């Protein structure tokens, strides 16, 4: 068929997510594998969220609360912001799409780090705007070079903090200097999917700048620390004027009923939250110590994952781990042909990963 499609759509690279563990086992004929490739919560979902979902199953014939009244207010109280500042999404990915749809027109530009979450690029191109890439510097977002890329066409700037896949952060001082140098009409999007794992007190938090008179948007998710990746629930916190614009185009019922009740329960599950952080931080310390023992180069991180330099083709390394039932993430598509990315698992999974690493090297 000859279907007319815009060049902007044809220029988009499809997003290729990490495969479910069942699919990998089926494809490669392996069993009892562990997956430490997608930065997921090693403990599973919040137990309180599971309990809340069970209690809500009898209402699946009803449409969700389109405004997510109770979840939005619970989030607002927890974050110390107004409910009017919050926009929910089917994952924070959807909020990214709403932002680009509202803010970008053909010919506009949006600045983003390279490599970056592919959804940024995808949504920018969907609106016939131009993504302007700025390479990382020493694995960190290069704010100085981003400043130099700002033009009269710039409408948005994406900052991932902590950055994926490198685990680096942006300091408060560096961000404030950057903010002062950017024209006040340019919207800065701080993607904080991994912010809860940060231990460095010098890390900037987008919420601190919500009421500072500048259009700073903070993106967050329930996928990581709360373990609700399968329910696709995330949100953006932004100036009221921008939130009102996004709500004009937000799909009705975009936050499903099970996601809403699970997210509310997860916010109350402080024991699970603390256990997750303890598991991740202790796991990072164990893995870093073991990799040092093996002489394998790795990089400091403020997230629940980290980069490893294998010094050989990452695709071959991926296959080598896979044959041992360990699923890692090759970084070839991110521009790191000899690196892999690994997230912290349970202690048993971490030990198994190290044994597989020993076998490989």
Domains: count for the chain: 2
CATH code, domain carrying 139: 3.40.640.10
Q: Are residues 172 and 136 in the same domain?
A: yes
Residue whose C-alpha is closest to residue 224's, from 95, 79, 49, 40: 40
How does the average pLDDT of the chain come out, rounded? 94
Query: What integer is the mean pLDDT of 49-64?
Result: 97
Residue 262 Rama label (left phi>0; alpha psi -120 to 50; beta): alpha
Last-in-domain residue among 246, 268, 290:
268
Q: Do 220 and 310 share a domain, yes or no?
A: no
Look at residues 268, 300, 323 and tell me which one is the last residue of a structural domain: 268
Query: pLDDT category, 223, cuts 50, 70, 90?
Result: very high
How far apart (Å, rounded) are the C-alpha atoms in residues 262 and 151?
A: 43
Among 268, 290, 305, the domain-final residue is: 268
Same domain, 74 and 112: yes
Confidence of residue 12 (pLDDT cuts 50, 70, 90): low
Contacts 24+ apart (CB under 8 A), 5-10: 6/128, 8/106, 8/125, 8/126, 8/127, 8/128, 9/125, 9/126
Same-domain pairing of 306 and 183: no
Same domain assignment for residues 27 and 78:
no
For residue 210, which of 85, 96, 84, 88 has the smallest C-alpha distance? 85
- The answer on pLDDT for 2 being more than 90 is no
- Give the span between the Cα atoms of 39 and 310, in whole angstroms: 19
Of 193, 252, 190, nearest to 222 by C-alpha is 193
Which runs of E-coded beta strand occur in the chain? 34-35, 86-89, 109-114, 130-135, 154-160, 187-191, 216-221, 234-237, 297-298, 305-309, 326-327, 329-330, 339-343
For 79-125, what is each residue's pLDDT tens digit? Answer: 999 999 999 999 999 999 999 999 999 999 999 999 998 899 999 99
29: its two tokens = 């004929």
């Amino acid at each position: 068929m000859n279907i007319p499609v815009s060049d902007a759509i044809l220029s988009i690279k499809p997003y290729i997510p990490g495969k479910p563990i069942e699919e990998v086992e089926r494809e490669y004929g392996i069993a009892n594998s562990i997956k430490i490739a997608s930065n997921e919560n090693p403990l599973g979902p919040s137990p309180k969220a599971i309990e809340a979902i069970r209690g809500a199953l009898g209402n699946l014939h009803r449409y969700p609360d389109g405004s997510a009244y109770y979840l939005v207010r619970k989030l607002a109280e927890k974050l110390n912001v107004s409910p009017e500042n919050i926009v929910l999404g089917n994952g924070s990915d959807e909020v990214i799409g709403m932002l680009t749809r509202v803010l970008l027109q053909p010919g506009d530009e949006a600045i983003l780090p390279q490599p970056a979450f592919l959804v940024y690029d995808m949504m920018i191109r969907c609106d016939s705007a131009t993504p302007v890439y700025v390479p990382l510097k020493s694995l960190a977002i290069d704010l100085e070079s981003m400043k130099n890329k700002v033009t009269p066409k710039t409408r948005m700037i994406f900052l991932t903090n902590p950055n994926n896949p490198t685990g680096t952060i942006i300091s408060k001082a560096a961000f404030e200097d950057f903010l002062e140098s950017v024209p006040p009409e340019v919207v800065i999007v701080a993607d904080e999917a991994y912010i809860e794992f940060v231990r460095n007190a010098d890390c900037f938090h987008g919420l601190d700048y919500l009421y500072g008179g500048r259009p700073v948007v903070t993106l967050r998710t329930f996928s990581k620390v709360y373990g609700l990746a399968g329910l696709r629930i995330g949100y953006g916190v932004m100036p009221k004027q921008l939130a009102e614009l996004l709500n004009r185009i937000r799909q009705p019922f975009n936050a499903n009923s099970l996601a809403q009740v699970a997210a509310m329960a997860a916010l109350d599950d402080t024991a699970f939250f603390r256990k997750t952080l303890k598991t991740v931080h202790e796991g990072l310390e164990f893995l870093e110590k073991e990799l040092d023992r093996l002489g394998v180069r790795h990089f400091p991180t403020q997230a629940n994952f980290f980069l490893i330099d294998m010094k050989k083709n990452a695709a071959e390394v991926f296959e080598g781990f896979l044959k041992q039932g360990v699923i890692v993430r090759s970084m070839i598509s991110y521009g790191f042909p000899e690196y892999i990315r690994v997230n912290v698992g349970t202690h048993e999974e971490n030990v198994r990963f190290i044994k597989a690493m020993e076998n490989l090297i």
